[in-house]
Amino acid sequence: MIRRFGRLRSVSVRSLLPKRPRSVAGQVFILQVAIVVLLVIGAILALALQTRRDIDNEAQNRSVAVAETFAHSPGLIAAMNSPDPSKVLQPITEKTRRAAHVDFIVVMDTKGIRYTHPLPDRIGKRFVGTIGPSLAGKVLVENVQGPLGREVQAVVPVTAPGGRVVGLVSAGLKVRNVSSETNHQLIVILGTGAVGLAVATGGTALATRRLRRQTHGLGPAEMTRMYEHHDAVLHAVREGVVIVAGDGTVLLANDEARRLLGLAPDSEGRPVAELEGLDPATAELLASGREATDEVHATGDRLLVVNQRPTDGPGGPMGTVATIRDSTELRALTGRAEVARERLRLLYDAGVGIGTTLDVRRTAEELAEVAVPAFADFVTVDLPDPVLGGEEPNPTSSEMRRTAVSGIRDDHPLYECGQLIEFLPSTPQARGFGSGHAELVPDLSRAPGWRAQDPERTEDIIGYGIHSLVTVPLQARGAVLGVANFWRSEKPEPFDEDDLSLAEELVARAAVSVDNARRYTREHALAVTLQRSLLPRALPRHSAVEVAHRYLPAQSGVGGDWFDVIPLPGSRVALVVGDVVGHGLHAAATMGRLRTAVHNFSTLDQPPDELLSHLDELVSRIDQDEAGAAGGLEGSAMTGATCLYAVYNPVTRRCCFARAGHPPPAVVRPDGSVEFPDIPAGPPLGLGILPFETMEMDIEEGSRLVFYTDGLIEDRTRDIDAGMELLRQALSRTDRTPEQTCQDVLDALLPGRAKDDVALLVARTRALGPDRVAEWDVPPVPSAVAGMRAAAAAKLREWGLADLEFGTELILSELLTNAIRYGSPPIRVRLLHDQGLTCEVTDGSSTSPHLRYAATTDEGGRGLFLVARTSERWGTRYTAEGKIIWAEQLLSDEGATPPDLDDKALLDLFPDDELL
């Protein structure tokens, strides 16, 4: 600071010498006298203003105090209420005014009519001033033009004991009386200021005389010589000093500054921007005028530390002064710090950028991308095929597949991505994969073991400019998963031991992510395999519907979405879609259990609402069993499941729906109109709180029934209503097959990979025409059985199914006989000619026959046995009016053969009355 102050003073004195030949002491004296005069004048003005303000405040405070004192005087209210208030109050106010040294005290009523005033002729007249705030209970101080002239007055309310304002009191002073007091005090202030000026001037003279003695009477010339000696010392120090004026001109640059910055001898007096050889960054700093602390600049082969401060402080001129030190020895240390910083940044980028997905290939690609070009010019990652498939690697095999390649250029001669490579035992890759230790090859041209792998390709690699290699095995949890290769070509220096340690740490972080992805791939493959085995592999062909389906697993893995098509008796078909909440093996296994349960329940041929009730009870038991097995741990049970179950009848062209917390289906009419039936939602499965309801609707032939799970329409980026509208638009196209409809829906709602499981089932309905259905009403008498057999035989001949007459007559004989004997009217017979021949007998009873094996001595009980023997399958289903017993036979072209029974065998099996 002393040196800088001396340099600034030197510049200032030099600039003043030609204009002011006086001595330094004389100049200081004039300056100090001027400052003292200004300070005294300022003090007088400030004191005068302060005194005036104090007097005004004193006048206002006195007015308020007198008015409030008088307003609260005992007996004032009584005097104001007397017959002649002025007579009572006028003497008192005048006496009080003179004692309080105020110019007036006025008592008035609430309308402002005066009771008292120093001028008696003003009594009874209206008060001059503002009384509104005082009537509201406030104290008001104001300056007004009153009867006595310009006045400072205070108005105070007079309040009764209840707080009501009954009058007003005003007290105040005339402004000229206040000014006269100020003028008297101003004389004293001016006198005091004059005395202070005299004392200050005398003190300045004494200080100037003392300064003259201290400088020994030196004049400007002598002082100039003294500062020249100071400059000589300045130029001798080993620290550069540069002083720059406010306009960017160099005022001073000592010898050290010229040496460090490479400045010419004539640099002083020239703008910084015009100096030759000055580093641009340093020139910008010197010309900018900004502050800088230990700012490092590289100039040529030197590393300079610059400090810069402005000189326009107290009394200083505009400009800056910069000090410069040579810190070239710090360059090596700074370089090492920069290398460490870059390595830390690389490891940070690796921690953030590697392992963003659970895909083995993508994780390997992220490792290669992070290391280029920050660490290496080319990076390749080789993994065995078992690792890519999620399995453990084979430690005895050195065969690996190039999984990732990244580099600064694309025309490199390295092995291409995807190529299967069997590394020779002499290569660093094979040794690293076998031993688990990283290897450094500083010079590839002198590595015969590496060159033996592929002599022609290795020559191309060396000719390309790749000269150094680091091979690091990917190790995680005790297993070597592959190798990562780092190649250098652009940098002439080879990899060293520090680079090797950095590569090992980088690969160690990536190996954990690769192993996590491998394990996830294995578990995902297991879950997919399980789910694929649980989902229907091929839907059955059915004459009632033409179906197509899609299943898309979620990004995070397989889940519990499923669908099914189940043939039912009477040419009917059941369409099912369900969703188990969650993902993974547990959801897939639960889905399989529910699908099996639906198959089992459908064999009972129950209505959709009853089937969902049974399924709801099953899910509740599953939850209880799993919760008990897990010791009551939260989250161990199934988290939820939904289901939609529908039965379509091609004979009546009606469909019956029931759903348990599942999205409603879509019904697409042949004309392209789309409807979402308002089916009662019902609770999700497993809650058991409400019964399920069904809804029936007529379905035109050629309509499309679309069943789906919530993953199709729900998405975090859009509302569910928007998803339903997109689905409606995708389904509105006419003349689309179920396969085309599936593709239209997925293209519209899932252009990318699904975030949740999606199951989609599309069924186009068909109808069983009247020409393939025959119905008869049967009287409840045994003699009607023979006539019914004849009518059925005639219809079979009409359909070209004469080979089924024998079996059909047997079936009708037994079923009709049972209905007539044990059932109740009405009794009906229906034949359905579809993929097989179905014979149905309907009666009004709910009693169902049971198959049993009759003993040789029994006279009956063999009828249902013959029905089961003759038909492919048979069963009973219940309706609101009773029951239907049905039996189905395969057609001859499907391999059906009539039963090997003759008339004698028939007579042996049946009693006489069973063959009526």
pLDDT of amino acid 223: 65
Q: How far apart are CA 410 and CA 198, in angstroms?
A: 91
Q: Which residues pair with 633 in a beta bridge?
A: none
Percent of the chain whose predicted confidence (pLDDT) is above 70? 81
Put residue 294 in one of left, alpha, beta given phi > 0 → left and psi -120 to 50 → alpha.
left
**Which of these ranges, 17-31, 250-264, 287-301, 471-485, has the smallest mean pLDDT?**
17-31
Beta-carbon neighbour count of residue 735 at 10 Å?
8
- Residue range 426-437: average pLDDT? 92
- Asked whether residue 35 carries a pLDDT value surpassing 60, the answer given is yes
Of 354, 352, 414, the C-alpha closest to 382 is 414
Q: What is the distance of C-alpha 861 from the center of its chain?
A: 73
Contact 524, 390 (CB under 8 A): yes
pLDDT of residue 695: 94
pLDDT for position 484: 95
- The Cα 462–Cα 325 span in angstroms is 46
669-706 tens-digit pLDDT: 999 999 999 999 889 988 877 789 999 999 999 999 99
Q: Of all residues in the chain, what percent carry a pLDDT higher than 90?
A: 27
R_g of the chain computed on alpha carbons: 55
Among 42-56, 288-302, 645-659, 789-803, which range has the highest average pLDDT? 645-659
How far apart CA 916 and CA 913 sit, in angstroms, is 6
CA angle 572, 574, 576 (to 5 degrees): 170
What average pLDDT does the structure give for the chain?
81
Instruction: List strands edge to edge, sheet with 149-159.
Output: 104-108, 165-174, 149-159, 140-146
How many Å apart are CA 611 and CA 116, to the nearest integer?
Answer: 106
Residue 13 has pLDDT above 50, yes or no: no
- The full DSSP string for 79-132 is HHTSS-HHHHHHHHHHHHHHHHT-SEEEEE-TT-BBS--SSGGGTTSBPSS--H
Residue in the block written with tokens 């959801």: 587
- C-beta of residue 879 within 8 angstroms of C-beta of residue 886: no
Average pLDDT (339-367) is 87
Amino acid identity of residue 251, one-letter, is L
Per-residue pLDDT at 504: 93
Is the whole model's pTM more than 0.85, yes or no? no
DSSP codes of every residue in 384-418 = -HHHHTTSPP-TT--EEEEEEEEES-S---SPPTT
Convert the pLDDT of each residue in 393-403 to its tens digit. 887 788 999 99
Query: Can you read off the two tokens belonging to residue 134?
Result: 């005082």
Question: By the 8 A CB rule, do 241 and 7 touch?
Answer: yes
Instruction: Return d(Cα 326, Cα 305) in angstroms, integer.
Output: 7
**Residue 364 pLDDT greater than 90, yes or no:** yes
pLDDT bin (cut points 50, 70, 90) of residue 183 is: low
Per-residue pLDDT at 127: 84
**In this predicted structure, what is the pLDDT of residue 179?**
56
Residue 635 has phi, psi (to 5 degrees) of 85, 0
Report the C-alpha gap between 867 and 811 in whole angstroms: 5
Read off the amino acid at residue 351.
G
Helices (H) and strands (E) in the chain, counts: 24, 30
Query: What is the DSSP annotation of 867-887?
Result: HHHHSSEEEEEE-SS-EEEEE
CA–chain centroid gap for 298, Å, is 44
What are the CB-based long-range contacts (under 8 Å, 24+) for 826-829?
826/777, 827/777, 827/778, 827/779, 827/780, 828/775, 828/776, 828/777, 828/778, 829/775, 829/776, 829/778, 829/788, 829/792
H helices of 696-770, in order, are 720-731, 738-749
- Distance of alpha carbon 49 from its chain centroid, rounded? 64
pLDDT digits (tens, 9 = 90+) for 58-98: 777 888 888 888 878 888 888 888 888 888 888 888 888 88
Residue matched to tokens 């326009």: 312
Amino acid at 751: P
Q: What separation, in Å, do the N-terminal and C-terminal C-alpha atoms of the chain show?
A: 135
b/e burial code for range 776-794 (CB count within 10 A of at least 16 → b) = eebebeeebbeebbebbbe
Cβ atoms of residues 745 and 727 within 8 Å: yes
Residues, the chain? 916
pLDDT-derived band at 1 (thresholds 50, 70, 90) equals: very low
pLDDT grade, residue 211 (50/70/90)? low
At 806-831, the pLDDT tens digits run 888 888 888 888 888 888 889 999 99
What's the pLDDT band for 915 if we cut at 50, 70, 90? very low
pLDDT band at 288 (very low <50, low <70, confident <90, very high): confident
pLDDT for 317 = 75
Beta bridge partners of 245: 319
- Nearest CA-CA partner of 581 in 525, 643, 644: 643
Query: What is the mean predicted confidence (pLDDT) over 510-535?
Result: 82
Q: What's the confidence (pLDDT) of residue 834?
A: 87
Q: What is the mean pLDDT of residues 465-484?
A: 93
Say which residue the tokens 């000619």 belong to.
833
Q: How many CA atoms, within 13 angstroms, populate the side-chain half-sphere of residue 430?
A: 15
SS (H, E, C) 812-853: HHHHHHHHHHHCCCCEEEEEEECCEEEEEEEECCCCCCCCCC
What are the residues whose beta carbons fall under 8 Å from the beta carbon of 521, sequence distance 6 or more? 358, 359, 360, 388, 389, 390
CA-wise closest residue to 643 among 621, 624, 658: 658
Give the model's pLDDT for residue 3: 43
pLDDT exceeds 60 at position 856: no
Task: Provide the pLDDT confidence category of residue 653 given band limits of 50, 70 and 90.
Answer: very high
**What is the Cα–Cα distance from 115 to 807, expressed in whole angstroms?**
135
Residue 818 burial class via C-beta count within 10 angstroms: exposed 0-12, middle 13-18, buried 19 and up: buried
Give the pLDDT confidence score for residue 655 in this predicted structure: 95
Which residues is 837 bridged to in the sheet? 833, 889
Cβ atoms within 10 Å, residue 446: 9
Q: Which long-range contacts (CB under 8 A, 24 or more apart) does 409-415 make?
A: 412/378, 412/461, 412/464, 412/466, 413/457, 413/460, 413/461, 413/464, 414/378, 414/380, 414/461, 414/466, 414/487, 415/380, 415/457
User: Which of 153, 85, 137 shows the shortest CA–CA distance to 113?
Assistant: 85
Which single residue is written with the structure tokens 């189905």? Answer: 888
Question: Among candidates 402, 399, 405, 461, which has minimal Cα distance to 434?
Answer: 399
Name the more confident of 240 and 611.
611
> Is a pLDDT exceeding 70 seen at residue 215?
no
HEC readout, 277-305? CCCHHHHHHHHHCCCEEEEEEEECCEEEE
Judge whether residue 12 has pLDDT over 50. Answer: no
d(CA 903, CA 402): 78
> Environment class of residue 477 by beta-carbon count within 10 Å: exposed (0-12), middle (13-18) or buried (19+)?
exposed
For 372, the 3-state DSSP assignment is coil
Residue 18 has pLDDT above 80, yes or no: no
Q: Answer whether residue 906 shows pLDDT above 70.
A: no
What pLDDT is stored for residue 913 in this prediction? 43
Identify which of 698, 731, 727, 763 has the alpha carbon closest to the alpha carbon of residue 564.
Answer: 763
Of 891, 199, 838, 384, the C-alpha closest to 567 is 838
Rounded Cα distance, 119 and 829, in Å: 131
For residue 31, pLDDT over 80 is answered with: no
The CA distance from 205 to 632, in Å, is 101
Is residue 667 predicted with pLDDT exceeding 90? yes
Q: What is the largest CA-CA distance in the chain?
A: 163
